[in-house]
Chain A
């Protein structure tokens, strides 16, 4: 296969709407995913700020219970299905063909179809807010029987089911596309053991999607049948089984957590070597660890069900503990990459260090709640809220910002401003920890999650006010990022192909890349072809 594809159309201008609507170019689709997921991020983040404002003081009546329940349902659904996962999909869409030296994805039209289905699905979930009973309000987990028609009577719940179903089908199609592209469309010399770690992590992610998402689709279909076609799968009053929903949901839901983090392991594995000016440490170990995590994560779903008294706790506890081992390997590999390096703390690297610091705490609390005796207290409390946000906020979200700052020049041809970038980092880092660290304590002290208010007891008011203050600081960080985009776009300061002196093939071509991706390719003799071309004295294999 070759980088030479038949291309006839001249690169169109940025503003042609029809071009964006009909494009099957992986770079445009990737950009659309990234921008769409950032749009959903702004909305979901705003919902979170409203929730934090309601929770700033005890017994507050700013937001009604019904509205609050919609707020956290939409916040969770959006962050998981419409922000963290699709941002990774967008990044991978943009990067994988470039990183492996391919002209496009294996199935370009399928790829575009997936994007539009994801967009329409996401909009459907939010459009539920316009119905008479409002949007879905049974949480992103939609536990049956709460989500059954007897109790959640509104149209919003149905639109949630349809929207999430569309998104999950789109995600499965994209996963098949990623696997095929990476296995088949690599450039000459780009063997599997030379593709960037990010591409490997996306293969592992896609495999997980392929295994986990059908279970979600099945659960949603059954719920729909229960609601409208007289089924009783989850309704115990007619012989259904309420635990069945939890099995089906978490069989998807736990691997989903790794779908939300593995791509970002890939992101930091790309960025840390560049800003340490060293190759990634333990390439093989990182790849094996990715698949170990993916494999183990298929056997831990019921650690979300320890408190049901209906599952084999030790089995799930054991496999959950085991996941700590490959995750630890990754941490040590990242530290090994920085070890004795020549480290520059540019904004992308700052966000990676922030990722390491935050995610570590999320990992440690993750091992804690893998122990059922601890989970008996922590489950469904703010301790879980803290844990989950340290993984998906302090982890994935920080990696999202690292990726934005790192690949922005490649996507849009201009660098983001460094000083505003550092301001953005510090606001987000401080704001994040002030928001979410106190939640560990709130959970231990006895505050359940998903409550619209709380009584004036113990340190609830103090810790909650602190968390709310932190969320405003995070908001300021997001504003700093938006301002950065405006400033940097106005400045129009074009960058060359390789502004960071990076390693992988996407830095060989111009920024932004031409429609056919590459005019020529360097010889590929290691996992760092661009570095090799710039440092022939060090390059492995001695190929010129």
Chain B
């Protein structure tokens, strides 16, 4: 279910999110390496050898052009990152006007209910966590709420989570893009058995989904 180390994006939204990770990861690592380099360079280049103190080094304490530069350049970088991130978020959070499948997800201490509108309701037990079955390539609307405390619906392979807050239902769309079974779990601390509040997601073909749906609809 979860053999490899990095999550592999399994929805259309996750691919957008993965690009954000890639961009920020690369930019962040580049900045970190440059600044780490500057720190270590100054420490080792001007480290005083031995015990003798020697004469005082030059006592300069400011340099206006330099200080303006290292304020302005980071400012431009973060502005660019913000614009990118703003667009990515809009892509991910866009709600389709007519989703193909709507699932009401209810989180409670410490399990989940998946109620398909016009279809079956999946209940799990503690020993046998519930499974959310989703059709490949269709738009799935998740309407998420909680009936007791705050929880969070997290599927690492979707690179996405949303809090389930009582009295505050929220919606998001998923477009599954890869067949397979994925682990899901509660991410917001919710009390005694928070660590064991798991579920799974199985992405199947459209026809398999319809077959499953009618087989389970009572």
Contact = CB atoms under 8 A, between A and B. Distances in A.
Is any CB of A less than 8 Å from a CB of B in the complex? yes
B24 A367 contact: yes
Contacts of A279: 59, 61
A371 interface: yes
Nearest to B155: A446
A457 B157 CA distance: 14
Interface stretch (B97-105, B130-138, B182-190): B182-190
B92 interface: yes
B124 to A, nearest CB: 16
Given A373-B92, A448-B154, A325 B74 contact: yes
Contacts of A361: 32
B3 A458 contact: yes
B154 A458 contact: no
Interface string A237-281: 100111100000000000000000000000000000000111111
Contacts of A373: 16-17, 20, 85, 88-89, 92
Interface residues of B, number: 83
A65 B149 contact: no
B195 A453 contact: yes
B7 A445 contact: yes
Contacts, number: 258
Given A242-B166, A448-B186, A338 B46 contact: yes
Contacts of A381: 154, 187
A278 B61 contact: yes
A360 B161 contact: no
A146 B62 contact: no
B168 A310 contact: yes
Given A145-B166, A360-B32, A445-B156, A283 B61 contact: yes
Interface in B19-78: 20-21, 24-25, 28-29, 31-32, 35-36, 38-39, 42-43, 46-48, 53-54, 56-63, 66-67, 70-71, 74-75, 78
A444 B38 CA distance: 29
A342 B58 CA distance: 9
Nearest to B156: A446
B38 A335 contact: yes
A487 interface: no
B81 interface: yes
A368 B28 contact: yes
B170 interface: yes
Closest 7 CB pairs of A and B: A236-B167, A446-B156, A451-B195, A309-B170, A338-B42, A279-B61, A450-B189
Interface of A: 65-66, 69, 138-139, 143, 145-146, 151, 236-237, 240-243, 276-285, 307-310, 313-314, 317-318, 321-322, 324-325, 328-329, 331-333, 335-336, 338-345, 353, 356-357, 360-361, 364-365, 367-368, 371-374, 376-377, 379-381, 441, 444-446, 448-454, 457-459, 535, 538
25 contacts: A151-B149, A237-B167, A277-B56, A278-B61, A279-B61, A281-B61, A282-B67, A284-B62, A308-B165, A309-B162, A309-B170, A317-B89, A332-B67, A340-B60, A342-B53, A357-B36, A364-B28, A367-B78, A371-B24, A373-B16, A374-B20, A376-B17, A450-B189, A452-B195, A538-B56
Given A368-B28, A374-B20, A450-B194, 17 more contacts: A69-B192, A139-B189, A151-B109, A278-B58, A281-B61, A307-B152, A307-B161, A310-B168, A325-B78, A329-B70, A335-B38, A338-B43, A340-B58, A344-B48, A376-B160, A380-B188, A446-B157
